[in-house]
Structure 1
């Protein structure tokens, strides 16, 4: 079999009902190319490789799991990329869907990586620590709305699908989990540049208890900072608000 590596944040899904619910969420959208991130022991993989007409690949950093998966599912011989997802390049030239029970210790980095690939990734179905899943889906004004919420929601619509209990995993994590679905937006908010947008959002939330005026003073001329919008805190601004402000940056 295989061992569990705490250093890689491994908690393997064992609940077949949850696996089927994740696969069902995938099947609601057109599906031709599919990438599974972190297949681990193959709980999801065994369902994914049965999907008809789908070009499937997986990325797995743990060599032991790569060997196990190839031995257990011979059809995966040339379908597994042995690499950290964070170091990977897109495995398809066409658009592809991403699915995974994402390692919780790098889940935020995984989402930022997906943002880098957004032109090729129209749909993502992923399991995260519940706190992270809620943060991604949080609307403006919510106490957990932050950098991750704004940057993901600028390019994707987010749907929180369902909670997953700790006992659905082996070993059970100490936190609850949640599955979310990302749908790439057909139209995104107008912004001066993505670089400016990312800079503004990160600067605003890095001092989230301060008003926008105090938190982002270095990015705007004083004549702009008199606007009433700068009396608000970052969590009160929508994606569209941040995008519009990029045109007023220095």
Structure 2
């Protein structure tokens, strides 16, 4: 069967290096008892190593040409090839509500959306591994105070321990992307409850980082109002990248109390 032509609008860059594919596949071994869902298998360069792990493997692929290729080349996967958009799927139905490991050579154009969906299903996904754009991987793994620390860093690290595993050259893909890639692993931490209003926490993180060069007292005014006495406190002279996750949780609680007292 002829090769699948990479489609730019789907963000497809097919990995050619089998050693790297094997290394990515091995990142799922921290949870050897769980089934695997691979997103965007393309022509199965990663799939061929995942199916050897004696575990249930399902793949989800949006590209009809790749689906046809997979059905032809991996007949044992026939009942486990899902032709669908991962971002629109109900993940609780995949493995009868059981947890699973998420992996893949993720399309660069939707990798952040994939991880936001992971967060929405964090009780189902104790481990997520795979390859993404190096810049995004660095943002996810960034510590407080760094230039790359931001929304993705905080929202993911609040629930997952992040490991930046290794960097991948652009020259091992067809077509070569314009940027380097990286492989990461995110493993659920022990946090079951942030200790604050999660919706407000997300709102504050996104609001402040959308104006990351401003002090908190300026970026958070739309939430608190310009007359709030909280804005005069020293904490609000900081910029968002200076705050740890715990400080954002404490900030969320302070803001919630203020809003509740104002609107009992």
For the aligned pair, the TM-score class normalised by the smaller chain equals over 0.9
Look up the match of 2:262: none
Matched length = 249
1:204 to 198, 202, 208: 208
8 Å CA contact 1:157, 1:184 repeated in 2? yes
* 1:112 equivalent in alignment to 2:116: yes
The aligned runs of 1:66-81 (5 Å cut-off) are 66-81=67-82
8 Å CA contact 2:31, 2:101 repeated in 1? no
Look up the match of 1:192: 196
1:154 to 158, 161, 169: 158
* 1:217 equivalent in alignment to 2:221: yes
The C-alpha deviation readout for 1:182-210, integer Å capped at 9, x for no partner, is 01111256332211111010001011110
8 Å CA contact 1:191, 1:246 repeated in 2? no
* CA deviation after TM superposition for structure 1 residue 50, in Å: 1.1
The aligned runs of 1:1-250 (5 Å cut-off) are 1=2, 2-52=4-54, 54-90=55-91, 91-92=94-95, 93-187=97-191, 190-220=194-224, 222-249=228-255, 250=259
The C-alpha deviation readout for 1:3-33, integer Å capped at 9, x for no partner, is 2111101001111111111122211333321
Unaligned runs of 5+ in 1: none
The TM-score with structure 2 as length reference comes to 0.91
For residues 227 and 220 of structure 1, the distance between their equivalents in structure 2, rounded to whole angstroms, comes to: 13
8 Å CA contact 1:31, 1:97 repeated in 2? no
SS at match of 1:39: coil
For residues 223 and 188 of structure 1, the distance between their equivalents in structure 2, rounded to whole angstroms, comes to: 32
SS at match of 2:128: strand
Q: Quote the RMSD (CA, aligned, Å).
A: 1.2
For residues 149 and 190 of structure 1, the distance between their equivalents in structure 2, rounded to whole angstroms, comes to: 15
8 Å CA contact 1:138, 1:144 repeated in 2? yes
SS at match of 2:79: coil
8 Å CA contact 1:41, 1:69 repeated in 2? yes
The TM-score with structure 1 as length reference comes to 0.96
The C-alpha deviation readout for 1:199-248, integer Å capped at 9, x for no partner, is 01000101111001110123236122222111100010111111111111
Bigger Rg, structure 1 or 2 = 2
- Higher normalized helix content (fraction of residues): 2
